[in-house]
A and B are shown apart, each in its own frame.
Chain A
C-alpha cells in the first residue's frame, strides 16, 4: 500500500497536485491557475506561533489602554478600542455597532485564539485541539478580521481631527497597531491554503509548478 500523502487540490480551480518537499521561503503555485497552494515560511516553522502569541499578549493592552485622547477648550475625551462601536450604539445603530466591534476587535482576537489552538499543541507536544473545527473557523474568521483597516481608519480620522481638537495618541492604539501587524505576519506565516499549517519538511505539500 502506498504511503504517499493525500493529493492537494487547488481551492480556486480544483486541479490536483502531488505533495513534495519545499525549502524555506519557497512557494508552490497551481499549474493551472497560478494560485499559491503552499508556502514554507522563511522565518521557520515556529514563526506563526511566535507572532500569534505576540498578538495575544498585545490584545489585552490594546483593549484596555487609552486609544486616543482629544482635547478641546480644556475638555478631554479619551477613547478606547470599543468606543468606536459605542459611537454607533449610542445613536441607535446597534447592528452596525456590533458589526464594528466584531470586525475591529472580537474577530481578530478570536482568530488569534484559533491560530494559537492550531499551532501551540504541535509545538508543546499536546494533543491537537479539534483541528477539523478550527481550520474552517480560521478560514471564516480570516475574512472578517479587519484590524489593519481600523488602524488606517484611525490614522485618517486623526488627520481629519487635527483642526478640530488637540489629539494625543495613547498606548492602546500603538498596542492595537502592533497586534494587527502580529496577526498579519502570523497569518502570512501560516499556510492556510493547504488547509494545514506548515508541516515538517517530509510532508510539506507542493505543486508540480515553478517555485519562485
Chain B
C-alpha cells in the first residue's frame, strides 16, 4: 500500500518555537504596561489588563470580570504553556500520547482567538467614549503589546505541524485497500 508519510519539517518547529518565544516576550509588556486611560468627571484612571479586571470585580460585575480574566490572562498563558509542551515533546525521539497531544493542539487552535477580546474591548471604548472634557477613553501602549502577543501565538499555532507528533506512530490499519 502506498502511503504519503508526513514530512517532518524541522524548520516548521523552529518557526513555531521562535514565534512562541516572541509571544511570551511580548506578554511581559502587555501585562505590565497600561492598556487604557479613562478620563471622567475630572479624574484620570489608568489600567493594566489585570487592574481593569480587578476594577470590574470590585464593581460587582463578577461574570464580566471572569470573562475578561479568562480571555486576557488565562488563555494566553495556557496557550503558550500548551504550545511549549507540544514543541518540547515534538523534539523528542519517541512520542507517547500522540492522540492526547493532537487533541491539545486542536484545543489551542480553537481558544486562541478569544484572547482578542481585550483588544476589541479597548478599541470599542476608545472609539465610542469621546465626550471631550466630560469623559473619554484613550488606548495605551500595553494594548499594542497585547495584540502583538495574541497574533504571535496564533501564528505559532499555525506554524506548528501536528503531524510531527505521529512520526513514530505506525499507521493504523484502515479496513480498506487503496488501489495500487
How many residue pairs link A and B with beta carbons under 8 A? The number is 177
Query: Closest CB-CB distance, A177 to chain B, in whole Å?
Result: 14
Whether B166 lies near A99 (C-beta < 8 A) is no
Query: Closest CB-CB distance, A136 to chain B, in whole Å?
Result: 13
Cα-based distance from A35 to B117 in the complex (angstroms): 27
Interface majority SS on B: helix, strand, loop or mixed? helix
Q: B residues within 8 A CB of A75?
A: 131-132, 134
Whether B174 lies near A18 (C-beta < 8 A) is yes
Closest to A152 in B: B117
Whether A32 lies near B158 (C-beta < 8 A) is no
Known: A13-B98, A208-B175. A165 touches B135 (CB 8 A): yes
Whether B176 lies near A208 (C-beta < 8 A) is yes
Interface residue B99 (Cβ < 8 Å from any Cβ of A):
yes
Tier of interface size on chain A = 35 or more
Would you list the 10 A-B pairs with minimal beta carbon distance, nearest first?
A: A87-B127, A87-B126, A153-B120, A18-B176, A84-B123, A14-B6, A83-B127, A33-B102, A2-B179, A153-B121
Interface string of B105-130 (1 = CB under 8 A from A): 11000000110111111111111111
Known: A13-B165, A93-B139, A149-B113. A157 touches B176 (CB 8 A): no
Q: B residues within 8 A CB of A12?
A: 102, 105-106, 162-163
Closest to A86 in B: B127
Tier of interface size on chain B = 35 or more
Taking a contact as CB atoms closer than 8 A, the residue among B40, B118, B139 that contacts A87 in the complex is B139
Query: Closest CB-CB distance, B116 to chain A, in whole Å?
Result: 5
Cα-based distance from A174 to B117 in the complex (angstroms): 18
Interface residue B93 (Cβ < 8 Å from any Cβ of A):
no
Taking a contact as CB atoms closer than 8 A, the residue among B124, B138, B178 that contacts A16 in the complex is B178
Whether A149 lies near B116 (C-beta < 8 A) is yes
Binding site for A on B (CB under 8 A): 3-6, 38, 40, 56, 59, 61, 64, 67-68, 98-99, 102-103, 105-106, 113-114, 116-132, 134-135, 137-139, 143-144, 147, 151, 154, 158, 162-163, 165-166, 169, 171-172, 174-176, 178-179
Whether B138 lies near A77 (C-beta < 8 A) is no
Interface residue A178 (Cβ < 8 Å from any Cβ of B):
no
Binding site for B on A (CB under 8 A): 2, 4, 7, 9, 12-18, 31-35, 68, 70, 72-73, 75, 77, 79, 83-88, 91, 93, 96-97, 99-100, 103-104, 143-144, 146, 149-150, 152-154, 156-157, 159-161, 163-165, 207-208
Cα-based distance from A87 to B98 in the complex (angstroms): 45
Q: B residues within 8 A CB of A143?
A: 113, 154, 158
Known: A7-B178, A163-B59. A153 touches B128 (CB 8 A): no
Q: A residues within 8 A CB of B130?
A: 77
Known: A83-B128, A85-B123. A15 touches B117 (CB 8 A): no
